[in-house]
Every structure is written in structure tokens, then in C-alpha cells.
Amino acid sequence: WIKLLSNTLSISTNLDTKKDAKRLKQIIITDKEWDFLADIIEVLSTFADATTELGGSKYVTSSLHLRLIIEIIKMLETDSHREETHDAFDEENQDEIPNDDINKSVNTYCLINEIKLILYTNLIKYYPTITTVALISLILDPRFKSPDFTSSIQKSHTEQQLRTLFKQEKNNQKNTPDVSGTSDSSSTVHLVHPAHSKENH
């Protein structure tokens, strides 16, 4: 509708209206800028959805939290992550004066990737490694069938570690002495009524 308004103002015979039309064309958002806004909304909505899902959960969310972090990191990954590093919370970045000249269109080329890179770098900063113990909790969580969202190496190592833990627990069960026989004998003795004992004498 903004473009429609601009076209309507342009064909007006009123000079002031034509000036408004010219001004509007100078500051109007370009198609590339609209595309960028759509892309950034898609990226940020992932964070919003994760926050909503975690906030509305009524059960333990540690495994869910980890899965969402992994999925967000994978979504943000681009080829440039290994080439540059940025911290969105650096003082230098906060001190930069933005370009507020609305007459100039924004150069959106690779801008979405730059934003993804900043978000990605900060996630890696606060979640540098994902432990095997944490991944085991994901496997044991009935809400998640399998850790398909992890790398093949992580998946293989986690499954191997889980098998080791099961074997250790199985061996511990075998080495635990069976005291059920002793308990049954004790129970039988206590079931004999004192009166019956006197009758036998």
C-alpha cells in the first residue's frame, strides 16, 4: 500500500503533494530491504519460539533447552563463521554511531549473514561445548526419539558412552549379593506364634 500511496501522490497536480511523493520515494523501503526484514524476522522468530517453548514448559527442560540451543546454532551456521568473530556485547560495537540518514537505502548484501555470524559467535561463546552427559539426557528423554540434530561423531560417541554405562550397571547388579533368602527365613521365623511353641512343649 506504500507503493500505491507513492504512485497516487506522484500523479497529483498539487505541487506540495508531488513534493511529498518525491520525499516518500527517497525514504521508502526497497524490495531488497523488505526481503532482508523477512529474513531477519525468520531468524529472530527462532529465538522467540524457543523462549516461548521453554517458558511454557511445566516439566524438566534441561534436555529440551540443549536441543533448542543445538538447533539454533545449526540454523545460524554459515561459511563465514570460521573467518570472522564478533561479539554483539563488545563496548566497541555499542559505541558505534549508526547511520541515521533515511535518504540512503541500506546495503543488504550479506547483511543477514553478518547478523547470523554475530548471534552464532555469542552462542558459541556461552555454550562452547556440549558434554556427552548432556547428550545422554537427550537420548533418555522420551520426547526425542534420537539425537539426529547432533553431528555423527557426537552421536556415535554418546551412544558408545551410554552402552558403557549400561554394561557397568549390569555388572554392578551381578556383583550385588542376593539377600532375599535370608530375608525369607527371618520372615518365616517371625510367623510362628508363641502359643504354638508352648503347645509343642
pTM of full prediction above 0.75: no
Q: What is the pLDDT of residues 8-35, one digit of tens each?
A: 766 677 777 777 767 766 666 777 887 8
**What is the C-alpha to C-alpha distance for residues 115 and 43, in angstroms, rounded to an integer?**
9
What phi and psi, each to the nearest 5 degrees, are found at residue 149?
Answer: -85, -5
**What pLDDT, on a 0 to 100 scale, did the predictor assign at position 74?**
81
**What is the C-alpha to C-alpha distance for residues 81 and 120, in angstroms, rounded to an integer?**
8
Q: What is the pLDDT of residues 45-61, one digit of tens each?
A: 989 988 887 777 666 66
The residue to which cell 527365613 is assigned:
185
Q: Which three cell numbers stand for residue 169?
A: 550397571
Q: Which three cell numbers stand for residue 152?
A: 555423527
The residue to which cell 552421536 is assigned:
155
**What pLDDT, on a 0 to 100 scale, did the predictor assign at position 80?**
47
**What pLDDT, on a 0 to 100 scale, did the predictor assign at position 187?**
47
DSSP state of 98: P
Q: What is the pLDDT along the chain (201 residues), one digit of tens a residue?
A: 556 666 676 667 777 777 776 776 666 677 788 788 889 999 999 899 888 877 776 666 677 777 788 888 888 875 445 445 444 445 444 444 455 555 566 677 788 888 888 998 888 888 766 777 777 777 777 676 555 666 677 777 777 888 888 888 888 888 776 655 555 544 444 444 455 545 555
Q: CA 30 → CA 158, 172, 180, distances in Å?
A: 48, 68, 80
**What is the C-alpha to C-alpha distance for residues 22 and 15, in angstroms, rounded to an integer?**
11
**What is the C-alpha to C-alpha distance for residues 52 and 10, in angstroms, rounded to an integer?**
45
